[in-house]
């Protein structure tokens, strides 16, 4: 039996390693072969980009060699998939090869598309790519005063990132001794400061305490990079000196090119994590269209469910469990405090007051991530 994992990021790596361990006997006996195709020989710890923007990590700290993250029996090829042929159980790759599978898992992630908003690429900075985070850090270090505005376009990875970034901006400018010269303005698409009501209830008084101004029901329409003004769909116009954008996202380019789903989000059963209409194709992580947050945490828990189910179906003919929507995310509340957000399809997150202990746990997790993707933690 051939199992093919496409995408060597958080979800794909956890899935491939977990599955290889569960099926160690079958793999050793040559009954099962697990292959991974990715378009990069490196693996990036994306949450670290936030810290790069604030000078707390350097880009080289965010990468590991992907081959070193994988169980040695996994056949790993750096060869991007270019075409999916579900009717033939085949994918084609950039190098011209065809890979056949019995079970396919797609974990090709999401990408930013600032070009969807007129003027956004030219007029803003962001921390969603390495290049962006490095440039933003430089801009922040050079900033001498004025209005720093943040706009949030959706959908986007890591729903709490905008809130975290605002608290970190507050502490960053405090540490530089120029907080009184900086106006921090936050703009959010829904009618609260965060889409999740309990996060909003917690963040609003924290914003007030930190002197962070906010405007809700602000859906970014366009940016005038020359006059430095952002316009919302709702009709407001805001002047800025430095614009930090949470850019809109789409699914991977390959998902979009193959018309796997609207805007590249692949239609997926939110419990079974199979692609709609294809029982032998699983989709995990940012690539899906399921209504959970696009986080490494969701990708991780989904990967575990899929690994358990594939292994169980192979061994007993029956899957073991469904994905329950579980997500666990740290929320940095500044430079030295954090809280967390844990929820599933049934239970709403209940936020605890931020503490230093949780912040230090997040800092530790930034390193522990590598043991998590290897499947050791």
Partner 1 sequence: MSQVKIVDACNTFCPGPLMELISNMKQASVGDVLELLSTDEGSVNDVPEWVNKVGHELVSSQNIDGIWHIKIRKTK
Ligand X SMILES: Cc1cc2nc3c(=O)[nH]c(=O)nc-3n(C[C@H](O)[C@H](O)[C@H](O)COP(=O)(O)OP(=O)(O)OC[C@H]3O[C@@H](n4cnc5c(N)ncnc54)[C@H](O)[C@@H]3O)c2cc1C
Task: Name 85's Cβ contacts closer than 8 Å, sequence gap at least 6.
Answer: 91, 92
Smallest separation (angstroms) from ligand X to the CB of 255: 8
Tokens of 231: 């316009």
9 binds, options ligand X, partner 1, none, Cβ within 5 to 8 A by partner type: ligand X
Within a 10 A sphere around the Cβ of 181, how many other Cβ atoms? 12
Angle formed at CA 349 by CA 348 and CA 352, multiple of 5 degrees: 145
Task: Please give the DSSP secondary-structure letter assigned to residue 52.
Answer: H
39 binds, options ligand X, partner 1, none, Cβ within 5 to 8 A by partner type: ligand X
Contact 188, 232 (CB under 8 A): no
CA dihedral sign, ordered 49, 54, 58, 59:
positive
Cα torsion at 209, 366, 340, 193 (round to 10°)? 50
The nearer residue to ligand X, 184 or 331, going by C-beta atoms, is: 331
37 binds, options partner 1, ligand X, none, Cβ within 5 to 8 A by partner type: ligand X
Q: Is 358 in the site for ligand X (CB under 6 A)?
A: no
Smallest separation (angstroms) from partner 1 to the CB of 157: 11
Total residues at interface with ligand X (CB under 6 A): 37
**Between 21 and 60, how does the x/- string for binding to ligand X read (CB under 6 A)?**
----------------xxxx-----xx-xx----------
Which residues between 294 and 333 bind ligand X (CB under 6 A)? 294-297, 299, 329-330
Q: Is 162 in the site for ligand X (CB under 6 A)?
A: no
Smallest separation (angstroms) from partner 1 to the CB of 19: 27
Smallest separation (angstroms) from partner 1 to the CB of 115: 14
In a 13 Å sphere around the CA of 360, the CA atoms on its Cβ side amount to 3
Nearest-Å Rg of the Cα atoms of the chain is: 21
H-assigned helices in the chain: 10-22, 24-28, 48-53, 66-69, 120-123, 130-142, 161-175, 197-210, 253-257, 296-316, 356-374
127 binds, options ligand X, partner 1, none, Cβ within 5 to 8 A by partner type: ligand X
Strands 98-100, 229-232: pairing kind: unpaired
287 binds, options ligand X, partner 1, none, Cβ within 5 to 8 A by partner type: ligand X
155 binds, options partner 1, ligand X, none, Cβ within 5 to 8 A by partner type: partner 1
Answer for which of 127, 143, 167, 186 binds ligand X (CB under 6 A) is 127
Which residues between 66 and 125 bind ligand X (CB under 6 A)? 80-81, 107-109
Smallest separation (angstroms) from ligand X to the CB of 188: 17
Residues of the shown chain interacting with partner 1 in the complex, contacts defined by CB under 8 A = 154-155, 159, 189-191, 195-197, 199, 217, 219, 233-234, 248, 262-263, 291-293, 325, 327, 341, 343, 345-346, 348-349
The span from the CA of 204 to the CA of 156, in Å, is 21
Task: Name 199's Cβ contacts closer than 8 Å, sequence gap at least 6.
Answer: 160, 163, 331, 341, 349, 351
- Among all chains, which residue has been given the structure tokens 């990132």? 161
What is the secondary structure of 204-231 as a DSSP string? HHHHHHHT-EEE-S--EEEEETTTTEEE
261 binds, options partner 1, ligand X, none, Cβ within 5 to 8 A by partner type: none
Binding site for ligand X (CB under 6 A): 6-12, 37-40, 46-47, 49-50, 80-81, 107-109, 127-128, 157-158, 161, 252, 254, 285-287, 294-297, 299, 329-330
């Amino acid at each position: 039996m051939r199992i093919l994992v496409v995408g060597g990021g958080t979800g794909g790596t956890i899935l491939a390693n977990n599955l290889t361990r569960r099926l160690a006997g079958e793999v050793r006996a040559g009954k099962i072969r697990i292959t991974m195709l990715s378009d990069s020989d490196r693996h990036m710890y994306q949450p670290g980009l936030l810290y790069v923007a604030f000078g707390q990590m350097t880009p080289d700290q965010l990468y590991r060699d992907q081959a070193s993250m994988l169980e040695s029996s996994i056949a790993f090829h750096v060869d991007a998939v270019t075409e999916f042929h579900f009717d033939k159980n085949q994918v084609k790759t950039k190098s011209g090869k065809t890979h056949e599978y019995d079970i396919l898992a797609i974990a090709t992630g999401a990408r930013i598309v600032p070009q969807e908003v007129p003027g956004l690429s030219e007029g803003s900075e962001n921390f969603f790519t390495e290049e962006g985070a490095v440039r933003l850090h430089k801009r922040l270090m050079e900033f001498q005063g004025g209005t720093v505005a943040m706009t949030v376009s959706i959908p986007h990875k890591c729903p709490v990132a905008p809130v975290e970034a605002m608290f970190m901006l507050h502490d960053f400018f405090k540490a530089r001794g120029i907080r009184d010269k900086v106006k921090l303005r936050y703009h959010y698409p829904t009618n609260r400061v965060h889409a999740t009501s309990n996060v909003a209830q917690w963040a609003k008084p924290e914003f007030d305490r930190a002197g962070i101004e906010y405007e809700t029901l602000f859906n970014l329409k366009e940016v005038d990079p020359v006059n430095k003004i952002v316009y919302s769909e709702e009709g407001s116009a805001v002047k800025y000196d430095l614009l930090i954008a949470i850019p809109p996202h789409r699914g991977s380019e390959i998902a979009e090119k193959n018309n796997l789903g609207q805007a590249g989000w692949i239609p997926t059963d939110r419990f079974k994590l199979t692609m709609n209409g294809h029982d032998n194709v699983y989709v995990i992580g940012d690539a899906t269209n399921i209504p959970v947050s696009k986080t490494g945490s969701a990708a991780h828990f989904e990967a575990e469910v899929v690994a358990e189910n594939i292994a169980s179906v192979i061994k007993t003919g029956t899957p073991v469990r469904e994905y329950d929507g579980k997500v666990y995310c740290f929320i940095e509340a500044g430079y030295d405090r954090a809280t967390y957000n844990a929820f599933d399809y049934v239970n709403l997150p209940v936020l605890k007051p931020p503490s230093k202990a949780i912040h230090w746990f997040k800092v530790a997790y930034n390193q522990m991530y590598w043991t998590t993707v290897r499947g050791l933690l």
